[in-house]
Homo-oligomer: A and B are copies of this chain.
Amino acid sequence: MENLGLCTDLYELTMAQSYLEHGKTDKAVFSLFVRDLPEERNFLVSCGLETLLEALERFRFGDSDLKYLKSLGRFKDFFLDFLREYEFRGNLYAIPEGRIVFQKEPLVQIEGSLPEVQILETLVINIVHFQTVVASKAARIYLVSDGKVLVDFGFRRAHGLEAGIYAARACYLAGFAGTSNLEAGRRFGIPVFGTVAHSYIMVFPEEEEAFKAFAESFPKNAVFLLDTYDTVEAARKTVKLAKEGVPVIGVRLDSGDIESLSREVRRILDEAGLKDVKIIVSGGVDEYRIKTWISKGLPIDAFGVGTKFITSADAPYLDMAYKLVEYAGEPKVKTSPGKATFPYKRQVFRFYSGDLMDHDEVVRYGEPNGGVPLVREILRNGTLTEKLPSLEEIRETFMEDLRRIPERLRGLEKGTYEVIIK
Q: Mark A residues whose CB is within 8 Å of B.
A: 1, 4, 6-15, 17-19, 21-22, 24, 28, 30, 55, 64-65, 68-69, 72, 74, 114, 118, 121-123, 125-127, 129-130, 133, 153, 155-166, 180-183, 185-186, 192-200, 202-204, 213-214, 216-218, 221, 227-229, 231, 254-256, 307-308, 311-313, 316-317, 320, 322-324, 327, 332-339
**Given contact pairs A11-B195, A15-B199, A166 touches B160 in the complex (Cβ within 8 A):** yes
Q: Is the CB of B157 within 8 A of A7?
A: no
Q: Is the CB of A199 within 8 A of B30?
A: yes
Contacts of A161 in B (CB 8 A): 4, 7, 55, 123, 126-127, 162
Given contacts A9-B180, A11-B197, A316-B316, 18 further A-B contacts (CB under 8 A): A1-B183, A7-B155, A7-B183, A12-B197, A13-B182, A14-B195, A24-B204, A65-B186, A72-B185, A126-B158, A126-B161, A160-B166, A198-B323, A202-B332, A228-B334, A228-B335, A254-B336, A255-B338
Contacts of A118 in B (CB 8 A): 197, 199
Contacts of A183 in B (CB 8 A): 1, 6-8
A sample of 23 cross-chain residue pairs with beta-carbon separation below 8 angstroms, ordered by A number, consists of A1-B183, A4-B161, A7-B182, A8-B182, A9-B155, A9-B156, A9-B194, A10-B194, A11-B180, A15-B199, A17-B217, A21-B216, A22-B213, A64-B186, A72-B192, A74-B221, A125-B156, A126-B155, A159-B159, A228-B336, A254-B336, A311-B317, A313-B316
Contacts of A339 in B (CB 8 A): 255
Contacts of A127 in B (CB 8 A): 160-161
Contacts of A218 in B (CB 8 A): 14, 18, 74
Q: Is the CB of A217 within 8 A of B186?
A: no
Closest 9 pairs (CB-CB, A-B): A10-B194, A11-B194, A159-B159, A18-B217, A199-B324, A125-B156, A9-B180, A162-B162, A6-B183
Contacts of A336 in B (CB 8 A): 198, 227-229, 231, 254-256
**Given contact pairs A18-B213, A21-B216, A10 touches B157 in the complex (Cβ within 8 A):** no
Contacts of A229 in B (CB 8 A): 334-336
Interface centre among A203, A204, A229 (most CB of B within 10 A): A203
Q: How far apart are the CA atoms of A153 and B165 in the complex, in Å?
A: 24
**Given contact pairs A9-B153, A227-B336, A163 touches B162 in the complex (Cβ within 8 A):** yes
Partner of A6, one of B69, B121, B129, B186: B186
Contacts of A186 in B (CB 8 A): 6, 64-65, 68
Partner of A121, one of B12, B156, B163: B156
Q: A140 CB to closest chain B CB, in angstroms? A: 16
Partner of A182, one of B9, B28, B153, B228: B9
Contacts of A15 in B (CB 8 A): 196-197, 199-200
Q: How far apart are the CA atoms of A334 and B180 in the complex, in Å?
A: 23
Q: Is the CB of B7 within 8 A of A122?
A: no
Q: Is the CB of A202 within 8 A of B166?
A: no
Contacts of A334 in B (CB 8 A): 198, 202, 228-229
Q: How far apart are the CA atoms of A127 and B57 in the complex, in Å?
A: 27
Q: How far apart are the CA atoms of A323 and B254 in the complex, in Å?
A: 14
Q: Is the CB of B157 within 8 A of A317?
A: yes
Contacts of A163 in B (CB 8 A): 130, 159-160, 162-163
Contacts of A338 in B (CB 8 A): 255
Q: Is the CB of A130 within 8 A of B158?
A: yes
